[in-house]
Structure formats: structure tokens, C-alpha cells
Amino acid sequence: MFMAQIEFSTTNAPDMHNAAQATNGLLAAWYHNGQTIDCGEIFVGPDGGIRTWVSIPEQTALDDANNGKWVNRALSELERCGANVSSTEIVGKNTEGDPVCTCEDSTALLLFASLVSTGSPVLCMDCGHALPIYKVPPFESGSHETLRCWNKIYKACDTLWIYSQTGEFFALREMARLDSSLTRHGRAVCEIIEAKMGIPTFYYLDRGKSRRNIWREQVWARERARRCPSCNGEWLLPESVLPFVDFRCDPCRIASNLSP
């Protein structure tokens, strides 16, 4: 992840309020297209120029080639208000950020999120890193809103589960059960991604953490014998493909983890 400084020229803007609003519109559009990790805040300098700093998933994230329909509309609106992007500069690297996938051809994708994930929820199952959202073709609406919506709700459920004060078991059921509303939503997202990208796309069913004694071998044996909750087929992998993927059912496109 990188930090970019973006400067906007407002020399031809007759109304600074409108120019600032259009700038915020562009920042929101970039964010929703996955080209930025956050929306940033804008600062107006004494010369009227607008400046902001945003986190981006890779150095080329803000290239025009990555713009979706709504980013191009926001750029047109900015221009209509007499402003434009005058410069973008990479000013640093965020070593804490999630790396992005650089594989030439991923063989499988996984829809996965957590309380602490910051980037895209579409992971490459070969390298375990995320595909920036702008590399996933837009959905029917021309945006990735359905995908982003699932991501936010999943992270909200993981937050309830981790903090364990309110709604924790509701949240776990949503993340773990095949028939939950969250799972149905996520599997529909996976189907769309697979249809658009032609890459098998799996949905992650979180097994959660048990409060039972993890050292009891019979508990592990029972867990390893767990079958696919959709087709009842065998789905334990010979070895984990990612640190948290121990089960994978190819026909059903679901994956899960071992948890005693």
C-alpha cells in the first residue's frame, strides 16, 4: 500500500464551494472503485489550491485506465466546476497495508474479509493477496456496490463476533452458516465475479473459534471429518492452500477452516 499526495487546481473555479464538493465527489468515486483505501480529507491552501493525501493499493491505482464509469463522471463534474487534478505523487509506502496480487493468471479467487482487513475482499488463492476492486469488472450497475456492501456487512459481523458483547452468536451464524442471509449475499457476489472473470470464485464459511479443549485429539478428528455443508462431499484439503483455508469444495465453490 502506498500514500499519494493529490493536488487540484482551482484557478478557473468561479465557486470554491462547488469545486470542493466536486473534489470530494471524485475522492468518493475513487474510494468506491477501490482505487483508494480511504476517502482522505481535503485542505484548501492560501492560493485556493486543494490538496489531499490518500492510501492507494498499488502505485498505478490512480491511472486513468483503472477509472470506472462513476470516476469518469466525477472527473467531468470536477472539470465543469473549473477544477482539475494537477498532480499525483507517491510520497511513501505503508508497510502495514495488505499487499496486492501480482499473479499473471490466478487459478482461483476467494471472497474473504475480516475485522482488520483494509483492502479488497477478493483474494487470489494462489498467492493469498488481494485483487484491487478496480481489477474486478464492474457489476450490472457499473459499480461494485454489491461487493462493497457485502464487505461492510461481513466486517460488521466479524466486529460483533470479536468484541463478544452484543450479537456475537448472531454474527457467527451469519458468517458460518450456509443458509444465512450474509452467505447467500456473498455467494451471489462470487457467482457474478466468476461469470465476469472466468475464474472459479469461492466463498469462505468461517468456522469460528470453539471454546472446547483444542488439545483433545477426538475433537480434531471429528473436525477433520467434517463434510461440505452443501453437498455432503469430502472437502478436506491435503494441506492448507492459505493459512485459513483447510476445506474446499470445488463443485459448491465454498471453502472453510479447521477449528476444533
Number of residues that bind Zn ion (CB under 5 A): 11
249 makes contact with Zn ion (CB under 5 A): yes
Q: Which three cell numbers stand for residue 201?
A: 470464485
Which range touches Zn ion (CB under 5 A), out of 142-150, 162-170, 197-205, 220-228?
220-228
Among 115, 127, 199, 236, indicate the residue that binds Zn ion (CB under 5 A).
Answer: 127
Which range touches Zn ion (CB under 5 A), out of 62-70, 155-163, 172-180, 250-258?
250-258
In the complex, minimum distance from the CB of residue 260 to Zn ion, in angstroms, rounded to a whole number:
22
Closer to Zn ion by Cβ: residue 152 or 224: 224
131 makes contact with Zn ion (CB under 5 A): no
Q: Please return the burial class of 249, using the count of CB atoms within 10 Å of its CB with bins 0-12, 13-18 and 19+.
A: buried
Chain centre to alpha carbon of residue 169: 24
What one-character-per-residue DSSP string does 188-237 give? Answer: HHHHHHHHHH-S-EEEEE------S-TT-HHHHHHHHT---TTT----B-
In the complex, minimum distance from the CB of residue 248 to Zn ion, in angstroms, rounded to a whole number:
9
What one-character-per-residue DSSP string does 28-93 give? Answer: HHHHHTTS-SS----EE-TTS-EEEEEEESSTTTTSGGG--HHHHHHHHHHHHTT-EEEEEEEEEE
Among 19, 37, 101, 111, indicate the residue that binds Zn ion (CB under 5 A).
Answer: 101
In the complex, minimum distance from the CB of residue 127 to Zn ion, in angstroms, rounded to a whole number:
3
Positions in the binding site for Zn ion (CB under 5 A): 101, 103, 124, 126-127, 228, 230-231, 233, 249, 252
